[in-house]
Each structure stands twice: as C-alpha cells, then as structure tokens.
Structure 1
C-alpha cells in the first residue's frame, strides 16, 4: 500500500496554491490523475519520485520515503518514470538505453519482444518514430522491475492510432509485471481504457475519487450524456443561433435560441448535454473540471 499525506505551497497562475493531498493507493493498481493544468498533478508525481520536497509523509509497503527526518533519494525508491519527451540517450542504441539502467539482457529482450521492438534493438533513437521512442522509454522505465511506475502524459504527442497501440502496450506491461502505476492524463478515453481508479485534482485538492465510470460518466437528471468543451463561436442563422463547440478533437454545432445565445461568450467552457436525444448547451457547473 502507498500512503500519502503531503502538504506543499505551489505558485499557481493566480498566486500561492496549497497542495494538500491525503491518498492511499493499493499495490498493483492503475491510478489516473486528472484535472486542469496547474492543479498539482505533475507535482504529485515528482513528490512520489523524490524529485521535490514537501511537508508530510509518504510510505510505500511500510517503507518511509518521506518523513520528518527522511527524504529517500529517487534512486533508492524503486520507481520507473516515463516522461513526455522520451529522455533517451541519442548516442545509444535501443538496447543500450535499456542496459544503461540495468545490465540484464534477458529482461531487456523480454520487454522489447512484448512491445514489438526486438528487431529495432540496434537502432539509434533518432531513427525511430515517436511511438517507437515512447515504447523504448516505457521499456527502460521497467528495466529495474520498479515497485511504482510514474507516467506524466506519456502519449500526449502521439496521433490517435499510435496512442491506442501504446495504451495496449502499457496495460499489457502493467499486468505482466504487477507494477503499481500512477499516470497523469487529460484524455478521458485513455483514462477509461487504462485506469481502475481516477483521482481528480482541483487547486491542489482532491475533488473526485472513484472508478472511471463513476468519475467520467457523471450526469444529472434525465440527461443521456454530458460533454465539456470550449465555445468557439455563436452564429446567427435566421431566427436561430448555432453554438460551435470544440470537444476534444472534434467540433460540434448546437442549435440554441436568442435568449440562450445571449448567456454565453466565445472562449467560455460549456457543457453540451442531451435529453431525449436533443442536444442542449449550458454553462459548465462551477468547480467542474476538464479532464
């Protein structure tokens, strides 16, 4: 079990923001951290990794990683960290990047085989695609058989098809090695596919904690679905108005009347919902978050 009770003052866009997190994470589970940018997600990962200090305590399987008199260094924590930018050694081959962490050729071969990289083991990172580089980074993070795998939006720079492929690889490796995994992501579909649990942060505090279904599929009343996006434009078309909303990678149009259109401003975060299959647009609830 991972137990956290940490406090740290952060510099947010609107001034000081206290990070105040109490959290228990079951071993071998897959937890996604979600929430708006600046809510404290990456800082929480860095505190788990030992890359930043805070007040409070962190213990993993009964071992104190952070305490009043303890600050266990990153290299003694038994973690693997996957960054957004791969962080591979450009002058080393794929295999050498893995062996630099742990000179275990057999384990490296297993990881490369599982991720379809074995035939590329002699290649340099500069000759690989983005998806291949990220698979190498994932394999390297698992070379020491870490107790805890930390991932900070590892797939954000990849196209949708490659993201889907890498999501499958991440889940396969997570299950195969029984690693506790904590991942930061803004992609609801990615969170739904991978995580067993979603922890949503807002202004340094936990505002939602549950299964992906409980957190991502929250609706109210008789609504069939609710999606959040950015209002890009309001267009008048005869007697009606059309709201143009960006939701993820898609643009949708929602019909509204004059009174409804007057309530909104371009650039606002809005919710698009449906009742009886007729979409409606409304102001986003205060405190709601973009995952």
Structure 2
C-alpha cells in the first residue's frame, strides 16, 4: 500500500496554487494520472521519486519515504522513472545502458526479449527508431525490479501504431514484474487500455477518482458516443454549413445549422456526439 498525504505550493497554469493530495494506492495497481497541463501531474511524480521535497508524508508498504523528520533519497526508493525524453547514454550500447543500472545480464536479456530488442542489444541509441529508444528506456527503468514505476507521458511523441505496440509491452512488464505503476497520460484510449484506476488532477487537487470507464465515458442519455475536439473550420456548402473538427488523429465533418455556425468560433474546443443517427455539435 502506498499512502500519500502531501501539500506543496506551485505556480500552475492559472497562477499560484497548492498541490494537495491525500491518496492510497494498492500494490500492483496501474494508475493513470490525467488532467490539464499545469495541474500538478509531473510534480506529483517527481515528489514520489524524491526529486522534489514537500510538506507531508509518503509511506510505501509501511516504509517511510518522507515525513517531517525523514527524507529517503531517490536512489533508495526502489523506483523506475520513464521520461517523455529517452535520456539514454549515447556512447553506450542498448545492453550497456541497461547494465549500467544493474549488472544483471540475465535480467537485461529477459527484458530485451520481452520488448523484442534482443537482436539490437549491441546497437547505439542513435541507430534506433524513436519507439525502439523508448523501449530501451522502459527496460532500463525495470532493471532494478522497481517497487514503483513512474512514467511521464512516455509515448506521446510516437505514432499511433507504435504507441499501441508499446502500450501492450508496458502492460506485459507491469504484470510480469508485479510493479505498482503510475503513468501520466492525456490519451483516453491509452488510459482505458492500460489503467485499472484513473485520477484526474485539476489545480493541484484530485477531482475525479475511479475506474477508466466511469471516469472517461462522457455520454449522456441516449447518446451513442461523445468526443472532444478542436473546431478547425466552418464552410458553407450550398444551403448547409459543415464544421471541420479535429478529434485525436482524425478530421470529421459535422453538419451544423446557420445559428450554430454563427455562435461557433474557429479554434475553440467542441464536443461531437450522436443521438440515434443524427450527429450534433454542442
């Protein structure tokens, strides 16, 4: 069990705010941490990693990582940290990057096999693709068999196909090593696929906490789906108006009324939903 009761003053997206978290996490849970930029997600990971000091208490399996008297340094916290940037040693091979953390060739070979990197273990990072480098970064984070795995948007720079592949590998490693995992993500499909629990941060506070389906499913009444996107353009075609909306990696066209076309503004966030078979934009 991880028990977190912390408070820290931050400069958030809208000015000064307090990061205030009172939370319990079960061992071997997979937690997705989401919310707007500047809400405190990365800071919370850094606090758990011991990279920032804070008021309060953090206890992991009965061991005090931090309180008013004690502060366990990062190297003693049994954590793995995967950043958005790969942060690999450029002059070391894939294998050497792993063995630098822990001189356990059996474990490094096992991790490289799980992530389909074994045949590339003598290669230098610059000769690998972005997805391959991120897999090396993930393997390196697992070399100490961490009690807690922290990931800060590790897949955001990758294309959709590679993201899905690495999502499967992250889940496999999470289960194989029985780690407790906390991952920052803004991708609903990624959160739904990986996480057993979702925490939504806003202005430093947890405003929603539950299972992915409960937190992410935003349809109401008889709506069949509901997605948020950015309004890119509105064009008039004969007597109708067509809105172009960016949703994830796709563009969709939605017919809107003349009154809706007048009230909508290019660049604003909109929600596209369906009720029965008639799409509507709100």
**TM-score (ref. length: structure 1):** 0.94
**For residue 102 of structure 1, what is the aligned residue in structure 2?**
102
Counterpart Cα distance in 2 of 1:122 and 1:207:
46
The corresponding residue for 2:217 is 217
- SS of 2:132's partner is helix
Q: Which residue of 1 aligns with 2:129?
A: 129
1:96 and 1:165 mapped to 2: Cα distance? 24
Q: How far apart are the structure 2 equivalents of 1:39 and 1:237?
A: 41
User: Which string of whole-angstrom CA distances, capped at 9 and with x for unpartnered residues, describes residues 205-230 of structure 1?
Assistant: 11211111111112212211111111
Q: Residue 273 in 1 paired to residue 273 in 2?
A: yes
After TM superposition, list the pairs within 5 Å mapping 1:112-261 onto structure 2.
112-261=112-261
Counterpart of 2:93?
Answer: 93
Counting matched residue pairs gives 282
Over 6 Å off, 4+ runs: none
Cα displacement (A) at 1:102: 0.5
- Mapped partners of 2:38, 2:177: distance in 1: 32
SS in 2 for 1:46: helix
SS in 2 for 1:224: strand
Distance 1:255 1:261 in 2: 10
Unaligned ranges ≥5, structure 1:
283-291
Deviation at 1:239, TM superposition (A): 3.0
Distance 2:223 2:131 in 1: 38
Q: Return the alpha-carbon distance in structure 2 between the equivalents of residues 71 and 246 of structure 1.
A: 46
Aligned position for 1:62: 62
Structure 1 residues 8-35: Cα deviation after superposition (integer angstroms, max 9, x where no partner): 1111232102111111111001011111
CA distance in structure 1 between the partners assigned to 2:9 and 2:244 by the alignment: 38
Q: C-alpha separation between the residues in 2 aligned to 1:224 and 1:84?
A: 34
Q: Could you tell me how far apart the structure 2 residues matched to 1:3 and 1:239 are?
A: 60
Q: Please give the TM-score of this superposition, normalised by the length of structure 2.
A: 0.97
